[in-house]
Structures are given as C-alpha cells and as structure tokens.
Amino acid sequence: MTAPRWALEARNLRKAFGPVEAVRDLTLQVRPGEIYVLVGPDGAGKTTTLRLLCGVLEPDAGEVRIWGHDVQRMPDRARDELGYLSQRFSLYEDLTVLENLRFFAEVRGVPRQQWFHRSMEILRFVGLAPFVHRRAGHLSGGMKQKLGLATALVHTPRVLLLDEPTNGVDPITRQEFWQLILRLAHEENMAALVTTSYLDEAARGHRVGFLQQGRLFMEGTPEALRARFPYQVLRLQGEPLREWRAAAVELDAVHAAQLFGDRLHLWVQPGSARQVSRALAHIARARGWPRPRVEATAPTLEDVFLVHAPG
C-alpha cells in the first residue's frame, strides 16, 4: 500500500471530564516519517490527546484516522498500524526482556515464526541485545524505558505514539532515546507523535505543537516558531540574579525577564538591545553589583511558548 498523505490525522477532537475540558477542538496531522512533538505542562491534555488518538478513549466530538483508517469505525485496522507507549506502561517485572517482547508480540498477533527475529532486531536497535535474559525488574529506569519502546514496536507499526517517554530519564539516555526515534522515522518512514513537558526537547522534532489547557495554540517547525518571537533576547548572567530580574523589568524597553536556571532571558523591544545593555551596566555601578554578562541570543522554544501561551 502506498503511504497516505497523513500517517495520523485528528480533526476537531474534544473531550471533557465533567467540567474539565481536557482537549478542546484539537486538529493535527503527522506525515509518514515525521516526528511531531506535543509539548505542554502538567495537565495540559497530552495523555488525553494520545488516548483519543489510539482509540482507548472515545471523543465527545471529532475524528481520528491512523494510516487512513478511522479509529472509531475501523478500530482493528487502525490499531494494527499503531504503536502506543503509555505514560505509565507496565512491563512484566518477573519476565525477562525477551519474554516481555514475546508477550507483547502475542497480544499484537505477530505470527509465531516472526516474533523472535523481529524482537532481536528491535532489541539490537534499542541497545538491549546484551540483556535479553535479564528480568525486566532488574533493568535500570532508562533501560525499562527502552524496553517499553521495544514493546511498542514489536508489530512494526507505522505510527508511534509515545507519552512522555523521556520523563525522569537521565540526559544521556534521553539523547539516545531521541536518536532512536529519529532513526525510526528516517529508516522505517514511521510517523511519531511524542509528548513531553520539557520545552528544551521540543526542537528535537520536525514539527512542534504547543498545548496548554487542552488547546493546541501554536504549531510549526522549530525554526518557524522561533521566527514568530516578537522581541530580541538578551541573556543575562550575574549576581544577585533575582534582584537583576526585578531591576531589569523596571526598564521601559524590557518587556519581561524569564528565569532559566542560572540566567535570565530579557525580552527587549526590537532595536533597543544596546540601550538596555548600557542601562544594565549603569545599574551595576549604581548598586555596587558585579557587572553582569549580557549577550544577545536567539529565542529558545521556551521563550516562544511562554510569550504565546494563553492565560
């Protein structure tokens, strides 16, 4: 079968739980081979969206197509094309790595002659081949996450839904995880929708959607999103940082100052960066603070999210 235009297509999805509108009129599409990162804070509606997309939750309105199959009307066809790693997936801790894969292969109806070959292929892919006989309960957190990914891939889906797969995983494993997803998209033309609450991960995807309060309020490539940032960004590093924040926002040309770890991002009116830098040097002298390091920098996706997020 030739690939459809959209591997995953959701139109006008809505879901409320009593008074809580968890997903509001959400429309999104993901192409074959494309990685779409859905970013949002706790409670934004990421998990609800994924559960609607894979058909375990029925929407109040809207429709979903997976590889062209309507999830409500052709659930079996849609599910065959879908791999889903839920936020709190569970492995069988007493089973070995390989036994876990056999279990998920059986659930997914992978023919008996194929499961072993496919399982070993995936385990090599995710770097777990040396651990096939280790009990899942004895794996590290990052290894469990990779095994989770492997179980979602065992039936060779065309569309992968991953719910916060890198949450709580160390930075190196996070890096490896993204590389695996990129390779799957590239080599197997797989579409992936990956959720995260880490804004700094958003730029890993080909396309990014920002979700808040159930609303997909902005989407685009990382470059296109950055280009829509309306201010210049000055990065300020110096002590005392919190006092610097309060002092900087007093300046007319500074729209806001965001604290990112050990630095501030000052959002300044276009064309006023130099004037602001001079004013900051003046403040340092007047208050007897060490002169801060101030540099112009490109906006990050965190800046973009924060400036456009509703409410």
Ligand X SMILES: Nc1ncnc2c1ncn2[C@@H]1O[C@H](COP(=O)(O)OP(=O)(O)OP(=O)(O)O)[C@@H](O)[C@H]1O
Interacting residues toward ligand X by CB under 6 A:
17, 20, 22, 40, 42-48, 87, 197
Q: How many residues bind Mg ion (CB under 5 A)?
A: 3
> What's the min distance (Å) between Cβ of 196 and Mg ion?
10
Q: Is 173 exposed, middle or buried (0-12, 13-18, 19+ CB in 10 A)?
A: middle
Q: Based on CB atoms, which residue is closest to ligand X, 45 or 59? A: 45
Q: Based on CB atoms, which residue is closest to ligand X, 96 or 197? A: 197
Strands 191-196 and 159-162: parallel
> What's the min distance (Å) between Cβ of 258 and ligand X?
21
Say which entry of ligand X, Mg ion, none residue 22 contacts (CB below 5 to 8 A, set by partner kind).
ligand X
Q: Binding pattern to Mg ion, positions 85-124, x when CB under 5 A?
A: --x-------------------------------------
Q: Based on CB atoms, which residue is closest to Mg ion, 42 or 262? A: 42
Say which entry of Mg ion, ligand X, none residue 17 contacts (CB below 5 to 8 A, set by partner kind).
ligand X
> What's the min distance (Å) between Cβ of 208 and ligand X?
15
47 binds Mg ion (CB under 5 A): yes
Say which entry of Mg ion, ligand X, none residue 40 contacts (CB below 5 to 8 A, set by partner kind).
ligand X
Q: Based on CB atoms, which residue is closest to ligand X, 29 or 197? A: 197
Q: Interface residues for Mg ion in 123-182 (CB under 5 A)?
A: none
> What's the min distance (Å) between Cβ of 38 and ligand X?
9
> What's the min distance (Å) between Cβ of 144 and ligand X?
18
Q: Based on CB atoms, which residue is closest to ligand X, 88 or 285? A: 88
Q: What is the 3-state secondary structure (H, E, C) of the chain?
A: CCCCCCCEEEEEEEEEECCEEEEEEEEEEECCCCEEEEECCCCCCHHHHHHHHCCCCCCCEEEEEECCEECCCCHHHHHHCEEEECCCCCCCCCCEHHHHHHHHHHHCCCCHHHHHHHHHHHHHHHCCHHHCCCEHHHCCHHHHHHHHHHHHHCCCCCEEEECCCCCCCCHHHHHHHHHHHHHHHHHHCCEEEEEECCHHHHHHCCEEEEEECCEEEEEECHHHHHHCCCCEEEEEECCCHHHHHHHHHCCCCEEEEEEECCEEEEEECCCCHHHHHHHHHHHHHHHCCCCCEEEEECCCHHHHHHHHCCC
Q: Based on CB atoms, which residue is closest to ligand X, 42 or 76? A: 42
189 binds Mg ion (CB under 5 A): no
Q: Based on CB atoms, which residue is closest to ligand X, 29 or 87? A: 87
Report the interface residues with Mg ion, using CB under 5 A: 46-47, 87
